[in-house]
Structure 1
Amino acid sequence: MKWLHSLPGVSVVLSGMSTMKQLEENIEISSDIDTLSPEDMEIVKKAAQIYRSRTKVDCTGCKYCIPCPQNVAIPEVFQLYNNAHVYGSFDESSRSYSNLIQKEEDSSRCVECGLCEEKCPQNLTIIQYLKDARDDLYSR
């Protein structure tokens, strides 16, 4: 919450809630909030740079690319690929990718029809990223 309140131009921070208790907690948290110090903001900036440098696919998970005619779980493949590189969780991501293979939803199913790329609002080269993810996650 502090970080959000520290961003220029932010005057309201909306937080999801479904009970009166959550509403009361959010009011309490927001009523006594300071902004982050310049030093803290620099730490956040450095962390974001590290995260971005390790991210392989800038997929937001919007799912506009699905359904895929070949049943490729495109956002899930990209999430596993990114997690492997951002968090160093190669073994876990590879195991999860194996589950996609068993469910016949892995990137090897891609026939390069291009329908996903036509629908992607980020204009990602999905076909190439699927190949990269397959090569990286399947080979481990």
Structure 2
Amino acid sequence: MKKIIYLEQEKKKLAESKKREQRSIKSLRLLVFFDGQSPTCAKAIDLLKALDWKNRIHFESFRNSQLLKLNKISEDKAEKRIVSISLAKNQKNSGIYTMLRIACNIPALWGTVPFILLSIWFGFGQYVYDYFSKKRYIHSVEQVPRPERDQQKTI
């Protein structure tokens, strides 16, 4: 009789640990790939991290990211637009649709959701996102050789 009670208690503990694990996975709802070499993107992500007090979103730079390759997303696509993966549904989005997902997951940005939806519905949201995406500045990885000032030719 004691063995049966012990087994039932173990089953309950196992079920509770599975529920806790599922809750922790569900709390992390979105994986976002951004351009880590763009100062504009980095500042925006820092702001979004500060607003995400429930820690629902994981931000990852797509440059040198193994997660990008594991999820079969091309680096060219990630460079043109911000890319996200909804972990609950395994759904991939890019551009303005990623911004919509971010706004839906951060309570402080819920007021922007109707405007994003209207921009998508009227068809200009992705164009506006692409315009600002093309205007961003990207730090170059390559070092540009510059002539040193001390070695000037003299007559």
Same-fold status (TM-score > 0.5) = no
TM-score normalized with structure 2 length: 0.29
Q: Which has the larger radius of gyration?
A: 2
Give the structure with the higher percent strand.
Answer: 2
